[in-house]
Amino acid sequence: MESTVCSIPTVWDQAIQSLATKMSPGLFSAWIQPLSFVELVGDELIVSAPNRYTQEWFTDNYLQTVQQEIERLVGRPLRIRIQVVDSPLPAPDPGPKEALTVAPARSSEASLVPPVAPSRESLNDRYRFGNFVVGPSNQFAQAAAKLVSEEPGRKYNPLFIYGGTGLGKTHLLQAVGHAILDQHPTWKVQFITSERFVNEFISSIRLKRMDEYRARFRDHCDVLLVDDIQFFQGKDLSQEEFFHTFNTLHELHKQIVITSDKVPNQLPDLEERLKSRFHWGLIADILVPEFETRVAILQRKAELDGIDLSDDVAYYLAQNIQSNVRELEGALIRLAAFSNLRSCPITVEFARDILTHLLTRNRGQITIDRIQREVATFFNVTQKDLKSQRRPRAISYPRQVAMYLSRKLTSASLSEIGQQFGGKDHTTVLSADRKVRQTLEHDDEVRQTLETLEKILGR
C-alpha cells in the first residue's frame, strides 16, 4: 500500500492527549511525552521511543487505548510500531582529535565550531527565568543571576548562590544557562554538578583521558555552571583540577556560576584558595519563601502542568508546607495524580486526605515502605510485585528503581533493604543500585523519572 500523507502527526498528538486526561501528569510525562511520531508507512504508524523501558511500558499499558483512539479519529485501524532510538549522552566527551586540534579555542570565533555538547541538553527546559517566581526571599539571587546572564563574564564573576535544599538554586543556575543560550545560541554552556565533575574526573584519570577532560571545561566552555559545590569537600584532587579550570576561565572572562548549600566560609573541607576565589564575585543567598511566594509558586506550577488549583487549596498547601519548594511541588503533583486516578476535583478535604502522611510525617523521614508504595503507584504495579521474584521488566525495572531510591534516601544497609524486598540478597540490591546509577548517567528519561519520584517523596 502507498504511504499516506495526511495530518497524522496531529492525529497522534490528539490520541495521546486523550490519555493525558486519564493519567496523572507524572505518569504522562514519564511514559507518553517522550514518544514522538516519526512517519506513517502504509497502515503502520511509526513512533520513536527514547529507550526500551518506555517502549515496553507503553506497549504493555497504553498501546491498545491509543490504537483505539486513532481508529476513532481516522476511521480505520492503524498499527503502531515503536522504534527505540538511542538518546544521545547528555554531555558527551569532546572527540579526542577535536579536543586536541582545536587550538586555544576560546575567542568568540571558537563558537563557530559546532558545540561539542549541545548545551541545552543538559538543562531542564522548565528551569527558566520565566518560570521562576520572584519574592523577597529570592529576589537578590534572581536579580544577580539575571544580570550575569545579560552580561556574562563582565559583572559578577563568579556568582555564588547558596541556600537550603529545594529552594530553587538549581533552577536559577540553569536559568542563567538558558538565558545566555537565548542570546548566544552557539556558546558552549557547561552545566555540571560537582559530584559528576568528581566522577568524570576519576574516570578520565582511569581512562587516561585527562586532556579531553580539561579541554571540555577549559577550551570548550564559554559558561561554566557548577551545581552543589559542597560535594567537592574532601575531594582534594578534584578541587585542584577545578581550581585550575576556574582560573583559566576567569582569566578569559568566561562566566562562572556556582551553587552551594552553605556560604563558602561554612564549607570546612574546601581549600582556602578556592574559597577565596568565590569571594571575587558576588555571593547571593536564597531564603525560605514567604507564604505569598509559596502560593504564587504553586499557582505557576499548576498553570504549567494544567492542574486545576483553587486558591483555598493553594493556601492550604502553602500553610502546611513551608520550608521546601520541592516538597510543595511534590504535594501538588501527588494531588494531581490522585485526582486523576480517582476522577475527583482537588478540594481542601481531598488534599487533607491525600496528604495526611506527608503533612504529619517526620520531616526528612523516608522509609523503604513509603518508597515502595510511591514507586508502585507511579509505575502502576503493586507493592507485592516489588517484593516478589518476578522478572518481567515491567516489574524488575520499578523494583530496581525502588531499591536505588531506598539506598539513596534512607540510611538502611544493603541487607536491610534486601530484607524488605522479600528477603533478597544484598548483592541484588547493590547491582540494582549500580544499574540504575549507570543508566542515569546517559538516559535523560530515567533521570526525569527519578526526579519526579524524588519530588513525590518530598526530596
| 398, interface contact from Mg ion, ligand ADP, none, CB < 5-8 Å by kind | none
Of the two residues 324 and 449, which places its CB atom closer to Mg ion in the complex?
324
Residue 329 interacts with which of Mg ion, ligand ADP, none, CB < 5 to 8 Å by class: ligand ADP
149 binds, among Mg ion, ligand ADP, none (CB under 5 to 8 A by kind): none
- 169/370 with CB nearer ligand ADP: 169
DSSP letter at 23 equals S
Cα–Cα distance measured from residue 109 to residue 176, given in angstroms and rounded to the nearest whole number: 22
- Report how far Cα 136 is from the mean position of its chain's Cα atoms: 26
Residue 457 interacts with, from ligand ADP, Mg ion, none (CB under 5-8 Å by kind): none
The DSSP call for residue 165 is T
- With respect to ligand ADP, which residue has the nearer C-beta, 171 or 277? 171
With CB cut-offs between 5 and 8 Å by kind, which of Mg ion, ligand ADP, none does residue 458 bind? none
> Which option in Mg ion, ligand ADP, none does residue 166 bind, with CB closer than 5 to 8 A by kind?
ligand ADP
Closest distance of CB 246 from ligand ADP, Å:
21
Q: How many residues does the chain have?
A: 459
Chain centre to alpha carbon of residue 88: 16
Answer whether 220's CB lies under 8 Å from 250's CB. Answer: no
Q: Which residue is nearest to ligand ADP (CB)?
A: 168
Residue 170 vs 239, nearer CB to Mg ion: 170
In 121-274 the beta strands, taken as DSSP E runs, fall at 159-163, 189-193, 223-227, 255-260
Is-contact 341 330, C-beta < 8 A? no
Q: Which residues bind ligand ADP (CB under 6 A)?
A: 127, 131-133, 138, 163, 165-171, 297, 300, 325-326, 329
The nearer residue to ligand ADP, 70 or 229, going by C-beta atoms, is 229
CB-CB contact of 205 with 366 (8 Å):
no
List 51, 119, 170, 400, residue binding Mg ion (CB under 5 A): 170
CA angle, corner 257, sides to 298 and 147, nearest 5? Answer: 70
Residue 329 phi/psi, 5-degree rounding, is -65, -40
Nearest distance from C-beta of residue 226 to ligand ADP, angstroms: 12
Smallest gap, in angstroms, from Cβ of residue 324 to Mg ion? 11
Q: Which helix or strand (DSSP H or E) is residue 282 part of?
A: strand 282-286
* 418 binding partner (options Mg ion, ligand ADP, none; Cβ < 5 to 8 Å by kind): none
**124 is a site residue for Mg ion (CB under 5 A):** no
Write down the least CB distance from residue 296 to ligand ADP, Å: 8
Q: Min. distance of Cβ 227 from Mg ion in angstroms?
A: 6
Which residue number, 165 or 230, has a Cβ lying nearer to ligand ADP?
165
Give the list of residues 6+ apart from residue 257 with CB closer than 8 angstroms, or none.
145, 148, 158, 159, 160, 161, 173, 176, 223, 224, 225, 226
Q: Interface mask (CB under 5 A) for Mg ion, residues 255-294, using x and -?
A: ----------------------------------------
* Of residues 110 and 325, the one with the C-beta less far from Mg ion: 325
* Cβ within 8 Å of residue 456, ≥6 positions away: 26, 330, 333, 334, 337, 374, 378
- Among candidate residues 9, 10, 32, 37, the one with its CA nearest the CA of residue 22: 32
Sequential DSSP letters for 27-76: HIIIIITT-EEEEEETTEEEEEESSHHHHHHHHHHTHHHHHHHHHHHHSS
Stretch of 27-35, 71-79, 168-176, 302-310 lying at the interface with Mg ion (CB under 5 A): 168-176
| Closest approach of Mg ion to the CB of residue 271, in Å | 22
Q: Which residues bind Mg ion (CB under 5 A)?
A: 169-170
